[in-house]
Amino acid sequence: MGKITKRSVDALAAKDRDYFLWDAQIPGFGVRVSPKGRKTYTVQYRLGGRTKRVSLGVHGAITPDEARDLARRTLGDVSRGADPSGQKRIERRAPTVSALCDRFLDEYVPVRCKPSTEKEYKRCCDLFIRPKIGAMRVQDIARPDIAALHHELRDKPYQANRVLGVLSKIFNLAEVWGLRPDGSNPTRHVQKYKEQKRERYLDPDEIDRLWRVLDSSVAAGTETVHVAGAFKLLLLTGCRLSEIQKAKWSWVRGNILLLPDAKTGPRRVMLSKSALEVLSALPRLPDNPHIIAGKVEGQFATDLQKPWRRIRKTAKLEDVRIHDLRHTYASLAAAAGHSLPVIGKLLGHTQAQTTARYAHLADTVTRNAADDVDGLISGFTGHAPAGPNNVIPISRDG
């Protein structure tokens, strides 16, 4: 054991197995000699109770002094908490982003996600992620790459943000699977585009017009009674499209629809008298368990978008989406004076912030109630309340 020099390394002869010559000045710095005589500079260190080695370069390609400098820098990185050996292992195993998408869709999504979410994730991977960065190695992806992809979709802010969300999940899993270092998700600090939440609620006249068109379309034979019934149930229950579309007769228990696997888990939907009347008017087809029977025997109606486009055109409601029927149900619940927690329960929300979009509707009811109380107090006191431009100041002294 002495200082590693070109002369000492040149003098090393091959043996029947690997062996090392260690440097006397830098602990952990040495030369590895293979049975074929290949001489590789290496640095050895301990981390987490384990001994690890990192190859620095082959003798001849780099000099002993260059290898010595690399060894010092590597050991300095280790002292600061880095794991050079682990990072090199990640680099050797690093798949492409396309391969990571495959693993994400094969291992994670089928177990964790609903079929509709699985379909959207696959769409994001196939249409937006693979064509742009699919050929790049997972470890090579940096924040500018993600920012550039997000920027290319700036004219579609909703889609851009959905793709960013999928990428965030994918690169989180890359860390879990040991394909990237912890805390290296390149989507961090890429700011989402502002999304304008669309609020469209049907007013009483529009609801009446829609209901009449649903009935007339069945009478004219342009839509089936099951299709028309689906839209009526969406309006009367506030359910999501897939929840009504895939519902089965066996899930109806009295005035309750038991959804075993809704978006947020099992859910109990309260059926009003009108909803029960719509259900009673729907014929039960033999060998078909679904409430909204489709054209294929034994199956539910798989496409309600095309019928909805026909119906809303006839009803002169071209800007109304199917999901707006759910918003309308929530707005009517708010107008009836129900609190946000109750509305959230009706809609099957598990997070309060999801229902918060209806807060301004609930505020209207509260404001009207406050005005009613104000009117009563004014009547008792004979004191006229201040108008909107005549605000009475409140004294800080009480």
Residue ranges of domains in the chain, CATH in brackets: 6-90 (3.30.160.390), 97-176 (1.10.150), 204-325 (1.10.443.10)
Q: Which residues of the chain have pLDDT under 50?
A: 389-398
**What integer pLDDT is reported at residue 135 of this predicted model?**
92
Structure tokens belonging to residue 375: 């009117």
| pLDDT score, position 78 | 86
Alpha helices, H only, the chain: 6-10, 64-79, 84-93, 97-103, 109-112, 115-124, 130-133, 143-152, 157-176, 204-220, 225-237, 241-245, 273-281, 305-314, 323-335, 340-347, 352-355, 359-381
The token pair at 60 is: 């001849």
Rounded to whole angstroms, the Cα distance separating 130 from 98 reads: 6
Tell which residue, 206, 191, 270, 204, has the closest CA to residue 237: 270
Other Cβ atoms closer than 10 A to 393: 6
Residue 168 has a pLDDT of 97
pLDDT value at position 315? 95
State the pLDDT at residue 123.
Answer: 94
Q: What is the pLDDT of residue 185?
A: 96
- pLDDT, one tens digit per residue, over 199-241 is 788 998 999 999 999 999 999 999 999 999 999 999 999 898 9
Whole-angstrom distance, CA of residue 318 vs CA of residue 308: 10
Q: What is the pLDDT of residue 398?
A: 41
pLDDT digits (tens, 9 = 90+) for 22-47: 998 899 999 999 999 999 999 999 88
Amino acid at 65: D
pLDDT of residue 261: 80
pTM given for the model: 0.58
* pLDDT value of position 373: 67
pLDDT attached to residue 178: 85
Tens digits of residue pLDDT in 57-67: 899 889 999 99
Query: So what's the pLDDT on residue 46?
Result: 87
Residue 352, pLDDT score: 67
Nearest to 136 by CA among 180, 87, 85: 180
> What pLDDT was estimated at residue 86?
67
Per the listing, tokens 């609020």 go with 199
